[in-house]
Structure 1
Amino acid sequence: MAHPAHEDTIQLVKEIFRSYLKERNQRQTPERFMVLEEIYRAEGHFDADDIFFNMKNAGTRVSRATVYNTLDLLIECGLVQRQQFGKNQYYYERSYAYQQHDHLICTDCGVVIEFCDPRILEIQKLMEQIYDFDVEAHSLHLFGKCRDRKACEERQKTGDKIKSLSSSN
């Protein structure tokens, strides 16, 4: 599972975001930077409502629209990635200074397992050579079912949202 960002990373992404907003004549509001900080202090995947309610529960006054609009800006400038794990809802994760990883997704309970396998990068490099193509990013989602049916059924009953589990090999 991705762990919260270090303070130096947070300061760096704030500078990147500040430059991005300035270049596009967008307002540099405190709320936008609070959303960015909340994202980089969070773990794993989250949806826009997770960010909104975490901020609201912490006493931060920010509108749902600001969260959604800021997420769009953060995606545009490459600081956040949007994922859709087979449902109609988008999930987000921070993308600056984080290792490329891929996902296993249970189609029953929605659990998401992040994994990183260097062989995928080797395949990517080989495809670049074979097809004379420069890959800028990739996304790999493998869909299936949990083998631990009991845990899967429990997650379905409780209605747990997508949880990120980590398995790095």
Structure 2
Amino acid sequence: MAHPANEETIDLVKEIFSSYLKEHNQRQTPERFMVLGEIYRADGHFDADDIFFNMKDGGTRVSRATVYNTLDLLVECGLVQRQQFGENQYYYERAYAYQQHDHIICQECGAVIEFCDPRIQEIQTMMEKIHDFNISGHSLHFFGTCEDEEACSRRREVKSGKKSKVG
């Protein structure tokens, strides 16, 4: 599981985001930088509503639209990755200064387990050689169901408690 970023990394990604916003004639609002900070202080994967509710619960007044729009900008500038784990199920994760990793996703409760196996990098390197191709990254998702049905059921109940979820 990825751990929250340190303040030095957060300052650096804020600088990168600031430059991106300037280059693309986008407004540099405090809310956008608060969303960025929230993302880089979070653990692992999250969806847009997770960020919205965490900020709201923490006393930060930010609209859901601002969260969604900021996520789009952060994906465009490469600071956040968008992963699609289901038909309409999008999760996000930090993209700056984190090693490549892959995912196991429960199709029942949506739990996401991150893992990193060096053999996958070896396969990627071999594929580059065999196919004379420069691979810039990869995405690997294994889908299945949790073996612990009780924990899976509890996570489903918690997720469905947020009725405002998109997807």
2:55 aligned with 1:52, yes or no? no
Q: Which residue of 1 aligns with 2:103?
A: 103
**Matched residue count:** 160
For structure 2, list consecutive stretches of 5 or more residues without a partner in the other structure: 161-167
Query: Any residues of structure 2 matched to 1:15-34 within 5 Å, and which?
Result: 15-34=15-34
2:82 aligned with 1:74, yes or no? no
Q: Which residue of 2 aligns with 1:135?
A: 135
Q: TM-score under structure 2 normalisation?
A: 0.89
Can you list the C-alpha shifts for 1:83-115, whole angstroms capped at 9, x where unaligned? 121241211111101111100112222221110
Show structure 1 runs of 4+ deviating over 4 A: none
Whole-angstrom distance in 2 between the partners of 1:29 and 1:151: 40
Whole-angstrom distance in 2 between the partners of 1:100 and 1:20: 23
Q: Which has the higher contact order (CA 8 A, sep 6+)?
A: 1
Whole-angstrom distance in 1 between the partners of 2:57 and 2:150: 33
Q: Which residue of 2 aligns with 1:166?
A: none
State the one-letter code of the partner of 2:11: Q
Whole-angstrom distance in 2 between the partners of 1:64 and 1:131: 44
How many Å apart are 1:138 and its aligned residue? 1.0
Aligned to 2:136, what secondary structure does the other structure show? coil
Q: Which residue of 2 aligns with 1:123?
A: 123
How many Å apart are 1:129 and its aligned residue? 1.4
How many Å apart are 1:52 and its aligned residue? 1.1
Whole-angstrom distance in 2 between the partners of 1:23 and 1:140: 32
Query: Any residues of structure 2 matched to 1:76-95 within 5 Å, and which?
Result: 76-95=76-95
CA RMSD in angstroms comes to 1.5
Aligned to 2:62, what secondary structure does the other structure show? coil
Whole-angstrom distance in 2 between the partners of 1:107 and 1:153: 12
For structure 1, list consecutive stretches of 5 or more residues without a partner in the other structure: 162-169
